[in-house]
A = this chain, B = another copy of it.
Amino acid sequence: MKIALGQLNFFVGDFEGNLRKMLAAVAEAKKQGADLVCFPELATCGYPPRDFLEFDDFIRRAENSVKELAKAAQGIAIAVGSPSRNPVVEGKDLFNSAYFLEDGQIKHIYNKALLPTYDIFDEYRYFEPAKEFKVVEFKGKKIALSICEDLWNLGNENPLYTIVPLDEMMPQKPDIIINLSASPFSYEHARERIRVSKANVDRYKLPLFYVNQVGAQTEIIFDGGSFAISPNGHVFEEMPYFEECVKTFDLEEVVENGRNNERPKEKIPLIHDALVLGIKDYFDKLGFKRAILGLSGGIDSAVVAVLAARALGEDDVRALLMPSQFSSAHSVNDARELAVNLGMQYDIIPIEPIFNSFAESLRPHFWGHGFDVTEENIQARIRGTLLMAVSNKFGNILLNTSNKSEMAVGYGTLYGDMCGGLSVIADVYKTEVYELARYINKDGEIIPENTIIKPPSAELRPDQKDSDSLPPYEILDAILYQYIEQHQGPNEIIAMGYDEAIVRRALRLVNTNEFKRYQAPPVLRVSPKAFGVGRRMPIVGKYLS
C-alpha cells in the first residue's frame, strides 16, 4: 500500500482555496501512485479556526468541502480533518474529526478524544471529546486514525488526560497508525513531536504516518516536517520544514526500514526560517505586499529588517530613520548602512520639530515639571505616528520590532515603539536576537558590526543605556525564561542562585506590565510560551506585583 502525506499551507476560513489545494494534492498523490492521501487536522477550514467554529454557516461550508473531497475519492482514498456535528444533544455540538473518504463516500469518521486546552489551544471550547474508538479497514489493512493530541498522552511523566486513545483501538488489532495534525512550531517542538511519536511506536510496534499543517496563521507558525516512523522506532523520513510537500510512502518500505533518518534541528536557524515564513504568510494571506519599519541603528530593528527583506523581497520593505536630538551619530549611520546593504528604500525624518511642537502645546500644562518619561514617550509616539502615516498613505504594513526581553519587562512605549500590525521578534529574547544577528551575518556582513557590538540603548534621553534600568540581558533573560517558559516562582528562581532583589524586580516588572502587552500586536510564536493568545494573565492582579 502507498500512503501519501499532503503537507499543505491552509488559510483559515478560505474553504474554496483550501479545497482547491487539496484537490490538486489528490491529483498529485494519484500521479505518485498513492492508494491513500492524508491531509492535516481541520484542513477544510484551516487550523485554528477559533470562534468561527461557533457559526453554523462556517460548519456548513466545511461539510460542503468534505462532500467535494469525497467526490474526488475515486481510485484513491482520502483522510482529512474537518469539524463534524455531534448527533447527541448533550455535550458540545461539534467534534474535531478525521473523515475517511473512499469510492465517493464518507466511509468512516473518527473523532478526536484528547482536546488540547492549554497555551494557544482552546479545543474544549468547541469540541466534545470522543468516547468511541473504531479503526477503519482499507485494502485489507486496519488503520488506527488519530488526530494530533491523541498521540500525546504517552511519553510524559504527568499525562494531561485520563485515557490513551490508541490503547482503546488496540483490541481491534490495527496494522497502521495515521495521525492528522496541526502541530505548531516552537524551537523544540519538532524534536518533541518525534519523541512522542516514537513513544507510541515503541508501545504498539506499528508504522506511524504523521501529516502536519505548514504555514502561519496570524501568530502561530506551523512548520510541517511530516514524517513516517518504522515499527522499530526509526524515523523513515522527515518531510521538509516550512514548505508545502506532497509525498508518497510505500508501506512495505517503511515497515522494513532499518535506518534512522531523523534530521538535525538547530534552534537559531529554525527560528530564522519560522520568522521568515511568519512574515510572508501574514502578508500573503491578508493580501498585503509592502512592509515598513523604523530603523534605529539598533540590533532589533536590524534583524527584523533582514527577516522582512527575506520574506517579502527588499523592494517591498521600506525603512524610516527618525533621529532625535538624543540620537548618537552612529545610529543613523548604522541604520543607513543596513538599508544600503539590504538594498532597501529608506527615508530620514528628524523628529525634533514635531517634538518641539508638542512641547510648545504642552508647556502651559506642564509648567514647573521637568523632563521625565513623558517626554521619552512623546518621542516614541511621534515615531509611531510617522510610521503609521506612511503606512496609511502608501499601504505598507508596519512591522513591530520589540524583542521578548523588553516586552516582558515593559521597556517600551505603548502607541510608540509598540505599534505595528505584526510583532516579528517579540518571542525572541534579546540574547537570542544577538544569536540571530550572528547567524544572519554568517556568510558576510549584512547587519553592521557596530550594530551588534555597541551597548543597547533606547536613545530617548542623553547617554541612555538599557543597562541603566535593566540587569544585563544574560541574567535578565535567564530569569525571564525560568518564569515565563518554565513557570518557576520567585523562590525556585532565587534557589537557582540568582540575586533575590533582581529576581523579585524582574517578576514584578513582568506582572505589572501586563497592560502594555494586552495592547501589543500579535507576536510570531517561536518558543513554547509566547506572549499573546497562549499566555493569559490578569491585568488587574496582585501577584508578584
Contacts and interface: CB of A to CB of B under 8 A. Distances in A.
Interface in A110-133: 117-118, 122, 124-125
Contact of A369 (B157, B356, B393, B489): B393
A498 interface: no
A455 B388 CA distance: 29
A11 B542 contact: yes
Interface string A125-151: 100000000000000000000000000
A487 interface: yes
Nearest to A377: B392
A469 interface: no
Given A52-B537, A365-B347, A374-B393, A542 B354 contact: no
Interface in A317-339: none
Interface in A35-54: 48-52, 54
A55 to B, nearest CB: 5
A472 to B, nearest CB: 25
A52 B160 contact: no
Contacts of A353: 357, 360-361
B369 A377 contact: no
Nearest to A49: B538
Contacts of A537: 50-52
A447 B124 CA distance: 46
A256 B541 CA distance: 43
Contacts of A56: 487, 489, 492
Which bucket holds chain A's interface residue count?
A: 35 or more
Interface in A352-369: 353-354, 356-358, 360-362, 365-366, 369
Interface stretch (A84-92, A196-204, A307-315): A84-92
Contacts of A12: 538, 540-543
A155 interface: no
Contact of A385 (B349, B381, B519): B381
A93 interface: yes
Interface stretch (A65-73, A261-269, A278-286, A427-435): A278-286
Contacts of A491: 57
Given A160-B92, A365-B347, A536 B536 contact: no
A540 B218 contact: yes
A535 to B, nearest CB: 6
Interface string A523-542: 00000000001011111111
Interface in A159-206: 159-162
A522 B518 CA distance: 8
A543 B393 contact: no
Interface in A494-524: 515, 518-522
A419 B515 CA distance: 12
A374 B519 CA distance: 21
Contacts of A414: 388, 419
Contacts of A125: 117-118, 122, 536
A285 B56 CA distance: 40
Nearest to A487: B54
A456 interface: no
Contacts of A344: none
Contact of A381 (B161, B388, B520, B545): B388
Given A12-B543, A56-B489, A489-B57, A538 B384 contact: no
Most B-side CB within 10 Å, residue of A125, A377, A540? A540
Given A520-B519, A522-B518, A540-B12, A377 B381 contact: no
Contacts of A162: 88, 90-91
Contact of A362 (B160, B349, B373, B374): B349
A13 interface: yes
A217 interface: yes
Contacts of A91: 159-162
A120 to B, nearest CB: 11
Interface string A405-436: 00000000011000101000000000000000
Contact of A365 (B90, B349, B357, B360): B349
A535 B14 CA distance: 20
Contacts of A240: none
Contacts of A357: 353-354, 356-357
Q: Which 6 A-B pairs have the closest CB atoms?
A: A13-B543, A57-B489, A357-B357, A14-B542, A374-B392, A415-B415
7 contacts: A13-B538, A56-B492, A90-B161, A91-B162, A92-B160, A217-B540, A533-B536
Given A11-B540, A58-B543, A91-B161, 9 more contacts: A12-B540, A12-B541, A13-B541, A13-B543, A350-B361, A362-B389, A381-B388, A415-B419, A519-B521
Interface of A: 11-14, 17, 48-52, 54-58, 88-93, 117-118, 122, 124-125, 157-162, 216-218, 281-282, 285-286, 347, 349-351, 353-354, 356-358, 360-362, 365-366, 369, 372-374, 377-378, 381-382, 384-386, 388-390, 392-393, 414-415, 419, 421, 487, 489-492, 515, 518-522, 533, 535-545
